[in-house]
Copies of this chain bind each other. A is one copy, B any other.
């Protein structure tokens, strides 16, 4: 073995510790401030000095520490936080994409974290993001009390709620026209002669579901149709339960002639159940999904543009960050029926 005097373990003579501006300054025989000038492309640096500094930077593998940089007052972390239920869900990943697209244009980065629909985790994640000094926050809330954010709002951090409004807190919000979408779905089915329309929904306490159910209920009532309790199934976010509900519904002595599913995941479960039993009621689902047009009976849905939610949220957020005067935003994004076949099946064929 050779003399283990030096702690250098690389074949070249480069140290394996992360270099700082001071290291670069030493290597280039200039002051730290000159390195800072070069790194930040400030003017008034001699060309030869600049060149020398650049060489030292390349040789040492120096990279400006943006964390230290952001510590200086006025400097920003250029980071925004997003809290969602599950990034693997296409609805949320589209929102994230829309957000990130705008963020990239502003040279901001996006920290994404998954609450898994757990109020406690939501709050922990929000706090963790704020401790990291994200400059703005987008939240798809899982909890039922967001007053814990009021101080943060007062301190100037823009917080935008997506898909569901905040509770006990006033801040910018972007939601879908859930109720209107459901109304359109039910009116569509009514216009094809359906009178016994079942609904399969998830947790009725979740805002979106509650609104969609309200749209269902209101519309039937408005058309003078009494809701048959036997046709209402709740807490079917789980695919198993949605399928079971579908089977029970279709086995009723007087089954529904149409089914309305209040979400993507429920729709797919219901369609699977209908696929297995041989019955074919009319069907409309809330949320569009891939290949809906390719199924044996193409699926009519209430669609919307999730990526646009993210984009709009980002626009509001960056407007706030740039201190643009802006009233409280309460945006409602449109929903619309996409007619494909399943929603136009006539009644009386079950």
Contact = CB atoms under 8 A, between A and B. Distances in A.
Contact of A93 (B10, B79, B90, B109): B90
Contact of A154 (B14, B109, B111, B154): B14
A143 to B, nearest CB: 17
A235 interface: no
B114 A97 contact: yes
A18 B296 CA distance: 58
29 contacts: A18-B156, A63-B131, A64-B131, A65-B131, A65-B133, A66-B131, A66-B133, A67-B71, A67-B132, A71-B71, A87-B112, A88-B90, A88-B307, A93-B96, A97-B114, A100-B112, A100-B113, A104-B114, A109-B113, A109-B132, A110-B111, A110-B112, A112-B112, A268-B291, A289-B290, A291-B291, A291-B294, A294-B296, A295-B296
A17 interface: yes
A162 to B, nearest CB: 15
A24 interface: no
A96 B87 contact: yes
Interface of A: 10, 14, 16-18, 61, 63-68, 70-71, 77, 79, 86-88, 90, 93-94, 96-97, 100-101, 104, 107, 109-114, 127-133, 151-152, 154-156, 268, 271-272, 275, 289-291, 294-296, 307
Contacts of A268: 290-291, 294
Given A97-B114, A290-B290, A133 B67 contact: yes
Contacts of A114: 97, 100-101, 104
Contacts of A128: 66, 107, 109
A152 B87 contact: no
Nearest to A107: B128
A77 to B, nearest CB: 6
Contact of A294 (B18, B71, B129, B271): B271
Contacts of A127: 63
Nearest to A297: B296
Nearest to A306: B88
Contact of A130 (B16, B63, B71, B101): B63
A73 to B, nearest CB: 10
Contact of A88 (B18, B97, B129, B294): B97
Contacts of A90: 88, 90, 93
A290 B291 CA distance: 8
Q: Top 6 nearest A-B pairs by Cβ distance?
A: A61-B151, A88-B97, A93-B93, A66-B131, A291-B291, A296-B296
Contact of A113 (B94, B110, B130): B110
A292 to B, nearest CB: 8
A228 to B, nearest CB: 29
A127 B290 CA distance: 35
